[in-house]
Amino acid sequence: MHSAIRQIAPESEINLSAAAGAPTLSPLGPAASRSAFCRYHVDTVEAPDIVHHPTRFRVKTDRFALLGLLLRELVHYRGRLPVVLARPCVYGVFGRPVGGMAPIHAKCVGCLRCTTQYPDVVQIHPNPARLRLGDSYLTPDHVDTILYEARGGRVPVRGAGYRGGFGGAGWDGMWTDMSEIVRPTRDGIHGREYISTVVDVGEKPAFIACDPRGRVIGATPRTLTLQLPMLLDVPPVAAIDRTLALAWSEAARRLETLAILPLTTILANHLSGAHLAPLLGPGELAALERLPSPPAVAFLDGWDAAAYAALRGRLAETIVGVRVPADADVAAHARAGVRVLHLVADYHGRRGGAFALELIQRAHGSLVEAGVREEATLLGSGGIVLAEHVAKAIICGLDAVGLDTALAVALQARFAGECTSRERALTLPRFEQPWAVARLANLAASWRDQLLEVMGAMGLREVRRLRGELGRCMFQADLEREAFEGIEGYAR
Ligand code: SF4
């Protein structure tokens, strides 16, 4: 392990830095400075919405029909006003003193009991303001889910059961293998057994060479250990201001992961710390001199062989990654010596006509074929908007994912139409930094808990073993082909 790179490892793991007698740094957070084993935990705090969030339904009542109904019921219930005014909703939508004259839309769960019993009095409509949230990829339901997670860091649970589809396009065409047999022995959320979400970002040579005296010669592992397989990816450039930059930085520090920010943003806001990964273009290398200390990780924006060599030359202690389009030939980059690759798709998870599910498998597979998969780190951004997408992207071959639009939605961003391009402006409300940090940390905590659920159900004890475990998932298209191929009417 390189002396400048910190490793947080469970007691059972070998710390190569310590083995090599090299000093280790603990730049990432409080847990890092503790030498003994410490169970990772994300503290959550309540962080309510600061912008009104549209309700799911609008309850429309015909006031004259309602008055007639109330009069009839007053007679029927012998003048018991609270009973009469509360009907016909058991959820309290008509619970105000004026009852259905001013329904409480936020309490409506859409059970349709009222409109079934009194179709002439009550009608339930989807709220058009809610339908305008997100876009065709990040749907209003996704927005609801993300906001719920960001408010308190809780795992969304629907007591009425799952009402959605059991397959579909994109991530919905992939199912993870959940076994009830292993379930009771692998409960990571409630602490009965520890499940690790630690990942390493960096370069890991296939072997370590030693001289006759046992001293390590040649390449050594150079990794930064993160407590989460999730990075805070670059926010939309147009949305970056000082408050957002500080929130990104502080959230990454608290979560003990990385915040990828443009180098210019880091410099302009005087940010520092090993949790910051500057993103710079080939023409920005000279600006690195203005950083107070070399970063632990830096990303070159796009492949440029000369700039990559120059960057590695300037930052000898730094893990240098390259941000490439998700359909890039990663094996060619690996042959050029790159060991940290960040695949970037658009906000809908697409690049070159393919979706992230396929792009990640393709990149992972090509690194496996090139024989360097274990030496390299594969990151990916784009189209990851639900907790389950993190697990699925890792199963497809990523070591860690970059979060982008989900973080913006957690901060109550509004999309202006279809939001595919990373240049596209998202509208963020004005907020205080502590609120934003709490929301980002809450979202990460909720997603981590959901990742633990998936791994627990799969019987896996650490997320590093989840990477590329395609044998532990099923694809809808494959199953349908196996079941229906050759049957008349089956179409792929
Ligand atoms: S749909 Fe259900 S929850 Fe909504 S107002 Fe009617 S009865 Fe109440």
pLDDT digit string (tens) for 425-459? 688 999 999 999 999 999 999 999 999 988 888 88
On the question of pLDDT at 29 being above 50, the answer is: no
| pLDDT of amino acid 4 | 37
Query: With the C-alpha atoms ordered 271, 273, 275, 277, is the resulting torsion angle positive or negative?
Result: positive
Instruction: Please say if the pLDDT value at position 122 is more than 70.
Output: yes
The finding on whether 121 has its CB within 6 A of some atom of ligand 1 is: no
Whether residue 423 has pLDDT greater than 50: yes
- Across the strands, what pairs with 354? 351
CB 103 within 8 A of CB 61: yes
- Give the phi and the psi of residue 276 in degrees, each rounded to 5: -105, 125
- Interval 161-165 mean pLDDT: 75
Query: What spacing in Å lies between the alpha carbon of 415 and ligand 1's midpoint?
Result: 30
Q: Determine the distance separating the centroid of ligand 1 and the alpha carbon of 111, expressed in angstroms.
A: 5
Most confident range (mean pLDDT) of 75-89, 135-149, 210-224 is 135-149
Ligand 1 close to Cβ of residue 91 (< 6 A):
yes
Tell me the two tokens of residue 491.
Answer: 């179409």
Closest ligand 1 atom number to CA of residue 57: 4
Nearest by Cα to 474 from 174, 172, 167: 174
Q: What is the mean pLDDT of the chain?
A: 87
Residue 424 has pLDDT above 70, yes or no: no
What is residue 180's predicted lDDT score, i.e. its pLDDT? Answer: 61
pLDDT(20) > 60:
no
Instruction: Please report the atom of ligand 1 found closest to the CA of residue 94.
Output: 5
pLDDT band per the 50, 70, 90 thresholds, residue 125: very high
Q: For residue 486, is pLDDT > 50?
A: yes
Check residues 16 and 35 and name the one with the higher pLDDT: 35
The fraction of the chain above a pLDDT of 90, given in percent, is: 62
How many A from CA of 171 to the centre of ligand 1? 32
Mean pLDDT value across residues 299-308: 96
How open is the CA angle 273-277-283, to the nearest 5 degrees?
120
pLDDT of residue 26: 42
Overall average pLDDT of the 266-270 stretch: 96
What's the pLDDT score for residue 31? 46
226 Cα: distance to centroid of ligand 1 (angstroms):
46
pLDDT over threshold 50, residue 32: no
pLDDT-derived band at 36, boundaries 50, 70, 90: low
Predicted confidence (pLDDT) at residue 96 exceeds the cutoff of 70? yes
Tell whether ligand 1 has an atom less than 6 A from the beta carbon of residue 108.
yes
pLDDT category, 158, cuts 50, 70, 90? confident
pLDDT band at 419 (very low <50, low <70, confident <90, very high): confident
**Structure-model confidence comparison of residues 146 and 15, the more confident one:** 146
pLDDT value for 346: 93
Burial classification of residue 166, based on how many CB atoms lie within 10 Å of its CB (0-12 exposed, 13-18 middle, 19 or more buried): exposed
- The band of 492, judged by pLDDT with boundaries at 50, 70 and 90, is low
92 vs 306, more confident: 306
Q: Is the pLDDT of residue 156 over 70?
A: yes
Residues 6+ apart with CB under 8 A from 170: 349, 355, 356, 357, 383
Q: Give me the mean pLDDT over the 226-242 stretch.
A: 92
How far apart are the C-alpha atoms of 28 and 26, rounded to whole Å? 6
Ligand 1: nearest atom to the Cα of 59: 5
